[in-house]
Amino acid sequence: MRTYNLCKGGRALSIAIGTLLVSILMLLVVAFPVSATVQASTVEMRGTVVSETGAQSWDAQNFAGFFYDMKNNISTEQLHIDTTIPGADLSSLNTNRSIPEKALIYSTNPKLLQFMMNEQQNVTVDNASTYDVVGWQAEKWVAVNNVGNKLVKLVFEMEKNDKKTLTTGETWSLGAGYELTINAINARATPRQVLFTLKKDGAVIDEGIGQPPASETTADKQKAVYYKTKTILNESDSLLFTVYVVSIFSGATSDLVQFKYAWLIDESSAKEIQGSDDYGVFEVTQANTNGITMDNKNTVNLSRNSETTLMGNLKFKIADNDTLRFYPMITYTDPGTYEVRGTVADASVPTSNTTYASWNAQSFAGFFYDIKNNISTESLDLLVPLGSLQLTRTIPEKQLLYSTGKAAQQFKANDKEGVNVAGSPTYSVVGWQAEKWIAVNDSTNKIAKLAFEMDKEDKKTLRTGETWSLGSGYELTINDIYARATPRQVLFTLKKDGTVIDEGIGQLPASESTIDKQKAVYYKTKTILGESDSLLFTVYVDSIFSGATSDMVQFKYAWLIDESSAKQIQGSDEFGAFEVQTATDKVIILDNKNSINLSKNTETTLMGNMNFRIADSDILRFYPKIEYIITQTPVLTTITVSPTNATVFDGNTKTYIATTLDQNGIAIDAIVIWSSSNHSVGTIASTGVFTAVAAGTTTITAKSGDVSGTVTVTVMLPEPLLVFAITPTAGMRS
């Protein structure tokens, strides 16, 4: 371990590079008001890691997956291991690799949250200023009638500045099948009124009447509150929907109504949690108005290199290591925007005048972390106490420190086969701006992205002439395979964007000895960023054999960096709010060049995709975050064929058009295959041109994969020509 001691602002700071910093202080960071979003296919939110030492309990502070309301500083969920139960201490867990029955405990309880219209207009909803929220399985739920074990999903809640303007006849889709339709608006009555219908899946729930406040008095504002209650889970007068009528006014062509602070639950999602109910590994031991408690009914498996589902999307991830390490996590794959946050820096804590905020991979799930090898390198440190920031709402220049270094990571070929790559069992990784980078030739300040790395069980089998796409424009083409030579060999070409990088030769190990296995390692080095003999690519030849029709080669443990991504970090370089102070082969240290604003209800970009999010509260609260977005992959779901119900005369043609739509009704490119069900009536070409053959009816189909669209076409005989014969009569001239 390398330790660097710095003195900043009169405070000594020790930075351990290459070792996990397990500081549970708090931290902050800030910069320019821009929000970056990372495109992803999967998002993992993890909690603090349990290892030989460390947390055995999690809440919204050290597990970003749990529900947390930043504005009001509300969280309700807890998960912990009861170490007083025999076999649940860390030493026993490491030995037995299982959590004993009833030792893993999940609990949650209702907490009050203020209605937005109460906060902004000082009005109540059905005489209440608040409603109860409950974090349940890492999601926000509402307690039905404030009963902690009767839960329902909040479908829709407007932000304080949101408005919705409608005119007569318009419908407002609220989500989950709920909609509000404006029936009439009377902008000239006293008081002005709006009549509307609230529906769920087309069924009427209520015919409502609303009016705007006649003045700014609280009494008049209270009259602008509409709400609807129902009996839900046997709780009478449970709030279903509420909205505030801001104004009713005459537009250019019609009267309009403007709403704010709409709030809606989905009755169909309501559920009652009862004693002895099972949820994943848990059994409910207590469920009442005050909350829910569960423990594990059976032992919970902690086997090496596994994921154990606890309930819903909540899992434990266990490291591929002889030493037990695990953390709770939630993985998201559905389209949406997801925020991975760090521990909250809170200036209201009693010790805020002596508390300094700090984050590392343990307290900020956005930072790079390798659970197998327990590797992290990044830290973010505030060098002034939180209490002083409450008054100024500004981090002074050079008082926010970001640092990172390198850490050795074992090549998979070394881990599994005991061989080295370019003479080394390891390569160096660097966490940089919350991503994993490779230290070029072990230099921390010269980094490149890892383009491809095979998992330890992955294999790739190829024949002569086949090409393996490695990513980032790199590809490996098999030129020849000698399965009958001694030693067996493979000749291949490594290219980048079509340009040859190397003509390589690989060979199969002649035996299981380490010396012979070492000969199966191919690697390519280059001069990158001025570093000669920097590793670019390596692969292990696992086997060469004769197939039924051709010789084949099987590769494992491929590893590749993208040379085009390589960059050198130098002193005085600027990254967002930061300026580099130190950049060596061992460490990179940056601090904020200018002061950083912490104004309420804002987000500030620190650098790259890292932001600070600041609460909409008079009390200063903030945390570092990275926002990920999973986009929905368009999928063909509908094909419509036009024209419909056409009639074509025998011998004529008609062109048909297929419109292909995705799941959102948006046009999508797709290749369709045309067919006619009755070729004796008519045929259709690949271009969609139908040719009528004989009188009758046929079905035209446009198909792509399992999706198809059809129309019926009728072929008719042409009308016969009428022939008239004119015969001259007597007296007519010819």
Give me the domains of the chain, ranges plus CATH numbers: 157-272 (2.60.98.40), 452-568 (2.60.98.40), 636-716 (2.60.40.1080)
Neighbours of 572 (CB within 10 A): 9
> Which residue, 417, 428, 451, is CA-closest to 541?
417
Strands 435-439 and 636-642: unpaired
Q: Does the structure show a pLDDT above 90 at 256?
A: yes
Distance in angstroms (rounded) separating the CA atoms of residues 702 and 676: 9
What does the block give as tokens for 474?
């790199």
Residues for the chain: how many in total?
Answer: 734
Q: In angstroms, what CA-CA distances link 497 with 470, 480, 562?
A: 11, 21, 12
Q: Using alpha carbons, select from 99, 149, 138 the residue that is nearest to residue 281.
A: 99
pLDDT tens figures, 19-68: 333 333 333 333 334 446 788 889 999 999 998 665 689 999 999 999 99
The arithmetic mean of pLDDT across residues 593-611, rounded, is 96
Residue 397, C-beta contacts closer than 8 angstroms, at least 6 positions apart: 591, 592, 593, 594, 595
Cβ(75)–Cβ(101) below 8 Å: no
* Mean model confidence pLDDT for the chain: 92
Query: How far from the centroid of its chain's Cα atoms is residue 698's Cα?
Result: 48
Give yes or no for residue 2 having a pLDDT over 60. no
Task: Name the nearest CA neighbour of 421 among 453, 443, 374.
Answer: 453
The residues pairing with 38 across neighbouring beta strands, listed in sequence order, are 628
157 to 160, 174, 307, 346: CA distances (angstroms): 9, 9, 35, 26
Tokens of 344: 């909250």
Token digits of residue 425: 């069992």
Would you place residue 730 in the very low, low, confident or very high pLDDT band (cuts 50, 70, 90)?
Answer: low
Predicted pLDDT of residue 350: 82
pLDDT tens-digit profile of 636-649? Answer: 999 999 999 889 99
Q: Please say if the pLDDT value at position 8 is more than 80.
A: no
pLDDT (0 to 100) of residue 555: 98
Q: Which residues lie closer than 8 Å to 524 by C-beta, 6 or more apart?
A: 494, 501, 502, 504, 535, 536, 537, 538
- What average pLDDT does range 291-305 have in this prediction? 97
pLDDT of residue 11: 34
85 backbone dihedrals φ, ψ, rounded to 5°: -80, 130
Q: Please state, in angstroms and rounded to a whole number, the distance separating the CA atoms of residues 728 and 734.
A: 8
Look up residue 145 and give its DSSP letter: G
Summarize pLDDT for 115-150 with one digit per residue, the tens: 999 999 999 999 999 999 999 999 999 999 999 999
SS3 label, residue 95: helix
Q: In b/e form, how buried is each residue of 416-454, taking b as 16+ CB within 10 angstroms?
A: ebebbbeeeebbbbbbbbbbbbbbbbbbbbbbbbbbbeb
Q: Looking at residue 90, what DSSP letter applies?
A: H
**Within 10 A of 356 (CB to CB), how many other CB atoms are there?**
19
- 228's CB contacts (< 8 A; 6+ apart) are 198, 205, 206, 208, 239, 240, 241, 242
> What pLDDT does residue 728 have?
66
Task: Report the SS3 class of residue 325.
Answer: coil
Predicted confidence (pLDDT) per residue in 480-513, tens digit: 999 999 999 999 999 999 999 999 999 999 999 9
In angstroms, the CA 607 to CA 120 distance is 34
Structural element, H or E, at residue 117: helix 116-121
Structure tokens at 193: 């009124």
Inter-CA distances, 613 with 225, 245, 336, Å: 32, 31, 19
DSSP state of 220: H
- Asked if 319 and 325 count as a contact pair (C-beta separation under 8 A), the reply is yes
> How far apart are the C-alpha atoms of 272 and 295, rounded to whole Å?
18
Question: How is residue 619 written in tokens?
Answer: 């009390």
CA atoms lying within 13 Å on the CB side of residue 662? 9
Both tokens assigned to 259: 């709403």
Tell whether the model's pLDDT for residue 732 goes beyond 60. no
Residue 693's pLDDT band, with cuts at 50, 70 and 90, is very high
Give the helix ranges, DSSP H, for 318-411. Answer: 386-392
pLDDT of residue 7: 37
Residue 354 is predicted with a pLDDT of 86
- Sorting pLDDT into bands at 50, 70 and 90, what band is 663? confident
Asked if 190 and 150 touch (Cβ cutoff 8 Å), the reply is no
- How many percent of the chain have pLDDT more than 90? 86
Tell me what the mean pLDDT of segment 586-613 comes to: 96
Separation of alpha carbons 622 and 70, rounded Å:
8
Please tell me the least confidently modeled range out of 32-36, 117-121, 440-444, 514-518: 32-36
Dist CA 6 CA 582 (whole Å): 11
The structure tokens listed for 627 are 């926002």
Residue 87 has pLDDT above 50, yes or no: yes
Q: How far apart are CA 71 and CA 619, in angstroms?
A: 9
